[in-house]
């Protein structure tokens, strides 16, 4: 067993409420306790040299929040924004405290209370496939939902991309 696998929570510890959302035809979930708020698509200001997966920043009630384009982070084809495109603002534990980041998704679905009996550990696809961003897989209402690890998704975003996207007041 690898060190990363040892650090994963047990399946029964993952039973919780999850906010589900769509990317393409698949549904994913984020633990609701990590979600600060959900907002409709608003103007996103591009910031030079922030990397491919950072769409830019938004001004959310006076706070500058970087926005991660989850499709690009997952290597998916980019599609035009729609009326359902949303930004999920999440809390992220970074060195020096908690910060907020927006995650751009195709559409928000619902909040589900997922029990331990509906959760399986992430599947193994072999040594060459990084699955660290998947906390678990849930089987709800006959469908599969991929439960994501917010910190792992955001941890791969280059630090310089985030610092370049943050206003000076948010860097302290």
Q: Which two tokens stand for residue 39?
A: 């907002």
Taking the alpha carbons of 53, 59, 63, 64 in that order, is the dihedral positive or negative? positive
For residue 128, the model assigns a pLDDT of: 65
Q: How far is CA 49 from CA 1, 21, 148, in A?
A: 38, 28, 27
pLDDT of res. 138: 96
Residue range of the domain that includes 152: 3-171
Q: What is the mean pLDDT of the chain?
A: 85
pLDDT score recorded for residue 98: 83
Question: Cα(171)–Cα(94) distance, rounded to whole angstroms?
Answer: 11
Chain-centre distance for alpha carbon 104? 8
State pLDDT tens for residues 130-160: 678 899 999 998 899 999 999 888 876 654 4
**Confidence band (pLDDT; 50, 70, 90) for 126?**
low
Question: How many domains, the chain?
Answer: 1
Stretch 96-121: mean pLDDT, rounded?
Answer: 93
Q: State residue 161's pLDDT score.
A: 46
The pLDDT score that the predictor gives to residue 164 is 45
CATH number at 32 reads 2.40.50.180
Sign of the four-CA dihedral 77, 163, 165, 154: positive
Residue % of the chain over a pLDDT of 70: 81
Residues 53-81 have pLDDT tens digits of: 999 999 999 999 999 999 999 999 999 99
Tell me the per-residue pLDDT of 8-25, one tens digit each, with 9 for 90 and over.
Answer: 567 778 999 999 999 999
Please give the residue that has the higher pLDDT: either 6 or 62.
62
Integer Cα distance of 69 and 142 in angstroms? 28
How far is Cα 140 from Cα 103, in angstroms, rounded to an integer?
23
Q: How far is CA 152 from CA 25, 63, 92, 123, in A?
A: 22, 24, 10, 17
pLDDT in tens, 31-61: 999 999 999 999 999 999 888 899 999 999 9
The reported pTM is 0.83
């Amino acid at each position: 067993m690898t060190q990363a696998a040892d650090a994963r929570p047990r399946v029964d510890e993952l039973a919780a409420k999850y906010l589900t959302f769509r990317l393409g035809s698949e549904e994913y979930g984020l633990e609701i306790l990590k979600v600060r708020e959900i907002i409709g698509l608003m103007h996103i200001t591009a910031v030079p040299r922030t990397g491919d997966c950072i769409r830019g920043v938004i001004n959310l009630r006076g706070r500058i929040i970087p926005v991660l384009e989850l499709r690009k982070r997952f290597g998916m084809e980019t599609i035009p924004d729609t009326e359902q495109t949303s930004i999920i603002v999440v809390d992220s534990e970074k060195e020096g405290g908690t910060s907020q980041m927006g995650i751009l998704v195709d559409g928000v679905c619902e909040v589900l209370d997922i029990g331990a009996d509906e959760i399986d550990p992430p599947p193994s696809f072999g040594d060459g496939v990084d699955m660290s961003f998947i906390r678990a897989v849930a089987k709800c209402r006959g469908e599969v939902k991929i439960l994501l690890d917010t910190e792992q998704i955001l941890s791969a975003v280059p630090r310089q991309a985030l610092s370049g996207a943050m206003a000076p007041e948010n860097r302290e």
